[in-house]
């Protein structure tokens, strides 16, 4: 049950090779249709002129002497997208300023008001020495913002003004670009096996077989035996069955006596279930030795989504993390939507100690859970808070962790603790406990005390 460090395909590939894939017989079956892939439009920002050249309602942002530097784009029509974010060349450079966008809805053909985009400045990222830091260029990035299906955009980025007599205005990072992400279509539904024979008699001949690429098989195999290869979800289990499942999956490493506090496993939608394009991420998985803590986040992508849109939000976040930010995969280990559905995040197996890129400095031996939304001033839905408690009761229980306890993590380097310092943390912590950030938002952070208590109760702890 304990993870290990591996940057190659390793065990997951072995599992794929060991398990027979349901390959179609050319004469009797056809491949299921593949959902159209998403896309990213990356547009460079340019200096903006005085207020006279701006759209109505935009304050003056002249770049003349003494004024803060401002870059952006004037209103323009673009290909359809649903999520926006701003990136820049160097991930170690901070963006000190304000980022705002407005977009045009494809449904109503009207422009939104100006919306603030939260700056990240490294808080959601891999540790400085993590494997993905050397695999591809890592860019600085704002939080992503979900805006719904849109076909027009305007953006402005204004540097923080200097104090009147003490310093000059901040400079914006080089290489500023706006990323416009289209999540692509929903994955095709699984065939029901009814009336799909070549002659329509339901005998299975000619049944459409869902496509399973090697990359998808690799990702899915990491969840065997908790779910079958190609499964769209991992089913919920009660407490007794969760313990039995963990003992079985550990090949005897766990015993009922050694692991009495494993909480009931929640239903988890797999990466295949929410439509992850496995060709985007790097192949193979990276593991750490254990899971000592869970860091709770909000995605800061806004609350303007319906629960049925959550898979599209995830596909957009995933593409933004990999294509725009340069990470090896989705940053969080799990995500939770406003209705309480739990989703598999970074590939490598939901029951394993997968190294994420969610809390710079403390990704090793931890897991990251992101609630989709922004909870700085809005209260998180009770269903989402309950789902975090259920998820942590199960996952922390697999590694013998008491959700109410403290643990010690070693900093990998960040803006709160220098590299190598041992830091005492709550087993369930907020992102801000490990990095100077507003995440997971004041309202969600205030729920963590209740989450710890509920999670421990679900584990059956006295």
The tokens describing 72, both together, are 């952006």
- Residue extents of the structural domains in the chain: 39-182, 214-459
The tokens describing 110, both together, are 């009207």
Question: How many of the other CB atoms lie within 10 Å of CB of 170?
Answer: 17
Helix or strand holding residue 342 (H, E): strand 342-344
Residue 87 to residue 390: CA distance in whole angstroms? 34
Q: What pLDDT was estimated at residue 121?
A: 67
> How does residue 165 score in pLDDT terms, banded at 50, 70 and 90?
low
Residue 223 to residue 334: CA distance in whole angstroms? 14
pLDDT average, residue stretch 347-368: 95
Q: What pLDDT was estimated at residue 212?
A: 83
Note whether 334 and 345 are within 8 A (CB): yes
Note whether 439 and 432 are within 8 A (CB): yes
Question: How many of the other CB atoms lie within 10 Å of CB of 282?
Answer: 16
Residue 226 to residue 312: CA distance in whole angstroms? 25
> How does residue 460 score in pLDDT terms, banded at 50, 70 and 90?
very high
The tokens describing 281, both together, are 């991420």
pLDDT average, residue stretch 124-149: 81
pLDDT average, residue stretch 185-189: 78
Whether pTM exceeds 0.75: yes
Q: What pLDDT was estimated at residue 193?
A: 41
> How does residue 199 score in pLDDT terms, banded at 50, 70 and 90?
very low
Q: How far is CA 240 from CA 109, 223, 247, 264, in A?
A: 53, 20, 11, 8
Residue 275 has pLDDT above 70, yes or no: yes
Residue 15 has pLDDT above 50, yes or no: no
Sequence-separated (6 or more) residues with CB below 8 Å from residue 446: none
> How does residue 192 score in pLDDT terms, banded at 50, 70 and 90?
very low
Lowest-confidence pick of 10-14, 331-335, 385-389, 418-422: 10-14
Number of helices and strands (H, E) in the chain?
A: 8, 17
User: In terms of CATH architecture, what is 214-459?
Assistant: 3-Layer(aba) Sandwich (3.40)
Residue 359 to residue 350: CA distance in whole angstroms? 18
Residue 47 to residue 68: CA distance in whole angstroms? 11
Sequence-separated (6 or more) residues with CB below 8 Å from residue 144: 83, 84, 85, 181, 299, 300, 301, 316, 317, 320
Residue 96 has pLDDT above 80, yes or no: yes
Residue 147 has pLDDT above 50, yes or no: yes
pLDDT average, residue stretch 204-214: 60
What are the φ and ψ backbone dihedral angles of 395, each rounded to 5 degrees? -70, -45
Helix or strand holding residue 147 (H, E): strand 145-159
Q: What pLDDT was estimated at residue 249?
A: 86
pLDDT average, residue stretch 30-57: 69
Q: Using omega within 30 degrees of 0 as the cis cutoff, is the peptide bond preceding 60 cis?
A: no
Residue 372 to residue 460: CA distance in whole angstroms? 28
CA distance between the termini of the chain: 25
The 3-state DSSP class for residue 462 equals coil
> How does residue 11 score in pLDDT terms, banded at 50, 70 and 90?
very low
The residue ranking higher by pLDDT, 198 or 237, is 237
Q: What pLDDT was estimated at residue 133?
A: 59
Q: What pLDDT was estimated at residue 258?
A: 65
Residue 313 has pLDDT above 80, yes or no: yes
> How does residue 37 score in pLDDT terms, banded at 50, 70 and 90?
confident
Question: How many of the other CB atoms lie within 10 Å of CB of 337?
Answer: 26
- Helical packing angle, 10-18 and 214-221, nearest 10°: 100
Residue 390 to residue 340: CA distance in whole angstroms? 10
Residue 64 to residue 61: CA distance in whole angstroms? 9
pLDDT average, residue stretch 221-230: 96
Residue 369 has pLDDT above 80, yes or no: yes
Lowest-confidence pick of 253-257, 273-277, 412-416: 253-257
> How does residue 50 score in pLDDT terms, banded at 50, 70 and 90?
low
- Vertex 401, ends 459 and 367: CA angle to 5°? 105
The residue ranking higher by pLDDT, 278 or 119, is 278
- Percentage of the chain surpassing pLDDT 90? 68
Residue 110 has pLDDT above 90, yes or no: yes
Q: What pLDDT was estimated at residue 136?
A: 73
- Compute the residue count for the chain: 462
Note whether 106 and 80 are within 8 A (CB): yes
């Amino acid at each position: 049950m304990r993870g290990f460090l591996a940057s190659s395909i390793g065990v997951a590939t072995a599992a794929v090779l060991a398990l027979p894939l349901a390959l179609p017989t050319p004469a009797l079956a056809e491949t299921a249709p593949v959902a159209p892939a998403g896309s990213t439009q990356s547009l460079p920002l340019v200096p903006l002129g005085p207020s006279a050249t701006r759209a109505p309602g935009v304050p003056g942002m002249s770049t003349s002497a003494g004024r803060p530097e401002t870059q952006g784009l004037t209103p323009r029509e673009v290909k359809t997208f649903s999520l926006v974010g701003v990136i820049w060349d160097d991930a170690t450079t901070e963006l000190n300023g304000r980022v705002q966008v407005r977009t045009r809805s494809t449904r109503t053909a009207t422009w939104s008001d100006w919306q603030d985009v939260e700056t990240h400045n490294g808080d959601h990222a891999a540790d400085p020495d993590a494997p993905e830091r050397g695999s591809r260029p890592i860019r600085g990035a704002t939080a992503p913002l979900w805006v719904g299906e849109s076909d027009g955009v305007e953006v402005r980025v204004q540097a923080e003004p200097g104090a009147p007599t003490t310093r000059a205005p901040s400079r914006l990072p080089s290489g500023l670009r706006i990323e416009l992400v289209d999540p692509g279509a929903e994955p095709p539904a699984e065939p029901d096996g009814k009336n799909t024979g070549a002659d329509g008699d339901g005998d299975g001949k000619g049944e459409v077989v869902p496509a399973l690429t090697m990359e998808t098989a690799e990702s899915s195999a990491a969840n065997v035996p908790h779910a079958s290869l190609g499964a769209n979800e991992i089913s919920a289990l009660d407490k007794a069955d969760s313990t039995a499942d963990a003992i079985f999956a550990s090949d005897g490493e766990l015993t009922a006596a050694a692991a009495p506090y494993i909480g009931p496993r929640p239903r988890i939608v797999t990466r295949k279930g929410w439509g992850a394009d496995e060709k985007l991420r790097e192949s193979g998985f990276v593991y750490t030795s254990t899971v000592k803590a869970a860091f709770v986040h909000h995605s800061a992508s806004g609350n303007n989504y319906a629960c049925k849109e959550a898979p599209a939000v995830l596909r957009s976040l995933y593409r933004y993390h990999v294509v725009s930010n340069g990470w090896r995969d989705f940053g969080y280990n799990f995500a939770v939507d406003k209705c309480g559905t739990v989703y598999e995040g970074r590939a490598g197996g939901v029951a394993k100690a997968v190294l994420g890129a969610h809390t710079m400095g403390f990704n090793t031996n931890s897991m990251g859970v992101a609630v989709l939304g922004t909870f700085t001033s809005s209260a998180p839905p009770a269903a989402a808070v309950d789902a975090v408690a259920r998820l942590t009761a199960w996952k922390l229980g697999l590694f013998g962790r008491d959700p109410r306890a403290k643990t010690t993590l070693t900093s990998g380097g960040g803006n709160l603790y220098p590299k190598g310092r041992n830091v005492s943390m709550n087993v369930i912590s907020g992102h801000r406990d490990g990095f100077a950030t507003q995440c997971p938002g004041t309202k969600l952070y205030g729920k963590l005390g209740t989450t710890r208590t509920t999670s421990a109760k679900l584990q059956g702890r006295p």
